[in-house]
Amino acid sequence: MFLTSTLASLAAGLYGANRASASDEAEPLRAAGLVRQGEVWLLPEERKAREQIAALPQLRDSIQLLQRDLDELVKQNRQTYEIIKPIIESLEQAIGRLASNDPKRRTLEKQLAAERRKATPPEKFGGKSEVRSMIARLSQQRINLTLQILSLRRIVPELIQKYADLAKDTSVAHAIEQLGRGNRLGPLRPLEPEMRKLGEFESVVLTPYVPIWLQSGHVRFTAIVDERHPLTMTWNEYPGHGLLLTASAAQALDVRPQPGAETRSLSFPKQRKVNAQRSTIASLRLGRWVAPDVPAWILAPEGEDLGSQLDSTALASYTASCEPAALRLTLSRD
């Protein structure tokens, strides 16, 4: 009994010593920021990158399905409107010829209202509640996929370089050798093929256009600031102040006035004036297009209700075409 107990104690001691030895041998790897997955020593950023890569197909499929549904709704509405438009015009003309107290007027007005419910003028279709909600959802999903792609375009090359540097580190190589056969430095699988696959996802969202919808008569869309931050704003068809940022948007984007920045009183409809300070954002992305070093006006807090806005004067070297009937804001190179 005593012998058995002694042998067990010795075995436990040896096991503990072996574990401590293995832990000591792995210390240079942990110090280098590596974590173990099976017998492969990985950088934590690789796990994050592979999670992002694995999520891309579902994001793409969701966007394509939503786009198909939206395109079908647009097509059906346009076809129906082409049929009822002559009827609507005829009823409007008939009503216009009647006196305001003519008993026939009420009947014709009911017919007109019934026809109008069948479809919406294509240029106003993006303002319907259910359509507006669908476009906003599509825009958000496109932004999410774009941000994932941009993130991977930054992370993966950095990962490849970090692994190359670690492979030259003699302390890392020695530690892996001491841990025994099978242990190796990451990546888990080659990362270069994953980068080549990104093109099939980029084609879905890095388009010459971005989706637009109508809200209270204003054209709305979402852009990406500095390749990292989404910003929903209003498109102004007529050239005005370029890029306007509300105080809250500027704070969220960490955009500040430049030292000694110009301050100006900007004019808006209904003789309204709001003070603003000059700044610049590093880039503004709309689909595939990226405008660098875009000047911006940061509105004073009292201009918060105006919202962030953009017009063509902020997009140097691009021609912008707003197409409400197609639900798109399209850019092209000059």
Residue 152 has pLDDT above 90, yes or no: yes
Check residue 3 and give its pLDDT: 47
Q: How confident is the model at residue 55 (pLDDT cuts 50, 70, 90)?
A: very high
Check residue 6 and give its pLDDT: 52
Buried b (16+ CB within 10 A) or exposed e, 139-149: bebbbbbbbbb
Q: pLDDT digit string (tens) for 220-238?
A: 999 999 999 999 999 998 8
Q: How confident is the model at residue 200 (pLDDT cuts 50, 70, 90)?
A: very high
Q: What are the CA-CA distances from residue 97 to residues 169, 269, 313 (Å)?
A: 90, 36, 46
Check residue 17 and give its pLDDT: 41
Residue 13 has pLDDT above 70, yes or no: no
Range list of H helices, 97-128: 103-116
**What is the rounded average pLDDT of the residues 298-317?**
95
Structure token pair of residue 260: 């000694």
CA–CA separation, 321 vs 232, rounded Å? Answer: 18
Check residue 1 and give its pLDDT: 53
Check residue 15 and give its pLDDT: 45
Helix%, strand%, coil% for the chain, nearest 5: 55, 25, 20
Q: pLDDT digit string (tens) for 84-120?
A: 999 999 999 999 999 999 999 999 999 999 999 999 9
**What is the rounded average pLDDT of the residues 255-276?**
92
CA–CA separation, 303 vs 301, rounded Å? Answer: 5
What percent of the chain is predicted at pLDDT more than 70?
93
**What is the rounded average pLDDT of the residues 204-227?**
97
**What is the rounded average pLDDT of the residues 122-141?**
97
Check residue 259 and give its pLDDT: 84
Query: What average pLDDT does the chain have?
Result: 92
3-class secondary-structure state, position 252:
helix
Check residue 11 and give its pLDDT: 46
Residue 289 has pLDDT above 90, yes or no: yes
Residue 211 has pLDDT above 90, yes or no: yes
Q: pLDDT digit string (tens) for 19-30?
A: 445 567 889 899
Residue 217 region, left (φ>0) first, then alpha (ψ -120 to 50), else beta? left
Phi and psi at residue 330, in whole multiples of 5°? -110, 135
Check residue 84 and give its pLDDT: 97
Residue 8 has pLDDT above 70, yes or no: no
